[in-house]
Structure 1
Amino acid sequence: MPQIIPGFAYHRVPTAETPDGVALNVAVGGAGSPVVLLHGFPQTHLMWRHVATDLAADHTVICPDLRGYGASDKPADPDGTAYAKRTMAADIVAVARALGHDRFALAGHDRGALVAFRAGLDHPDTVTHLAALDVLPTLDMWEAMHGITAAVGFHLYLMAQPPGLPERMIAAAPDDFFGHFLDLWGTDPAAIPASIRTAYLDACRAAVPSIVADYRASAGIDVAHDRADREAGNRLRMPVTVLQQDWGAALGFDAEALWRAWAPDLHHETVAYGHFMAEEAPTDVAKALRALLSRSA
Structure 2
Amino acid sequence: MTLAIPGFDHLRLPGADGTELAVAVGGSGSPLVLLHGFPQTRLMWRHVAERLAGEHTVICPDLRGYGASDKPAATGPEVYAKRAMAADTVALAAALGHDRFALAGHDRGALVAFRAGLDHPDTVTHLGILDTVPTLDMWKVLHGVRAAVGYHLFLMAQPPGLPETLIANSADSFFGSFLDAWANDPAAIPEEVRTEYLRASAAAVPSVVADFRASAGVDVVHDQADLDAGSQLAMPVTVVQQDWGAQLGYDAAGVWQAWAPDLDHRLTRSGHFMAEEAPDEIAAALRELLAR
TM-score (norm 2): 0.99
Counterpart CA distance in 1 for 2:248 and 2:58 is: 35
Equivalence map 1:187-266=2 (5 Å): 187-266=184-263
What residue is the counterpart of 2:99 in the other structure? 102
Residue by residue over 1:237-288, the C-alpha shift from the partner in whole angstroms, topping out at 9 and shown as x without a partner, is 0000000000111100000000000000000001111000000000010000
Give the alignment partner of residue 125 of structure 1, picking from 122, 125, 136. Answer: 122
What residue is the counterpart of 2:56 in the other structure? 59
Give yes or no for the alignment of 1:14 onto 2:11: no
Counterpart CA distance in 2 for 1:14 and 1:33 is: 21
Give the alignment partner of residue 184 of structure 1, picking from 181, 184, 188. Answer: 181
Give the aligned residue type for 2:19. Answer: V
Residue by residue over 1:1-23, the C-alpha shift from the partner in whole angstroms, topping out at 9 and shown as x without a partner, is 421000000110012xx23x110
Give the aligned residue type for 2:245. Answer: G
Residue by residue over 1:177-202, the C-alpha shift from the partner in whole angstroms, topping out at 9 and shown as x without a partner, is 00000000000010000000000000
Give the aligned residue type for 2:279. Answer: P
Give the aligned residue type for 2:193. Answer: I
What residue is the counterpart of 2:163 in the other structure? 166
What residue is the counterpart of 2:137 in the other structure? 140
SS of aligned partner of 1:82:
helix
Residue by residue over 1:209-241, the C-alpha shift from the partner in whole angstroms, topping out at 9 and shown as x without a partner, is 000000000000000000000000000000000
Residue by residue over 1:136-177, the C-alpha shift from the partner in whole angstroms, topping out at 9 and shown as x without a partner, is 000000001100000000000000000000000000010000
Q: Where in structure 1 are there 5+ consecutive unaligned residues?
A: none
The alignment-based identity, stated in percent, is 70
Counterpart CA distance in 2 for 1:119 and 1:56 is: 23
Give yes or no for the alignment of 1:269 onto 2:269: no
Residue by residue over 1:8-49, the C-alpha shift from the partner in whole angstroms, topping out at 9 and shown as x without a partner, is 00110012xx23x11000000000000000000000000000
Give the aligned residue type for 1:174. Answer: A
Give the aligned residue type for 2:106. Answer: H
Give the alignment partner of residue 152 of structure 1, picking from 146, 149, 153. Answer: 149
Q: Where in structure 2 are there 5+ consecutive unaligned residues?
A: none
What residue is the counterpart of 1:5 in the other structure? 5
What residue is the counterpart of 2:283 in the other structure? 286
Give yes or no for the alignment of 1:36 onto 2:33: yes
Provide runs of 4+ in structure 1 moved above 2 Å.
none
How many Å apart are 1:58 and its aligned residue?
1.0
Give the aligned residue type for 2:110. Answer: A
Equivalence map 1:51-90=2 (5 Å): 51-90=48-87
SS of aligned partner of 2:122:
coil
Give the aligned residue type for 1:10. Answer: H
Counterpart CA distance in 1 for 2:28 and 2:60 is: 14
Counterpart CA distance in 2 for 1:287 and 1:144 is: 29
TM-score (norm 1): 0.98
How many Å apart are 1:80 and its aligned residue?
1.2
Q: Greater shift after overlay, 30-39 or 74-83?
A: 74-83
Give the aligned residue type for 2:11. Answer: H
Residue by residue over 1:57-102, the C-alpha shift from the partner in whole angstroms, topping out at 9 and shown as x without a partner, is 1100000000000000000011111100000000000000001100
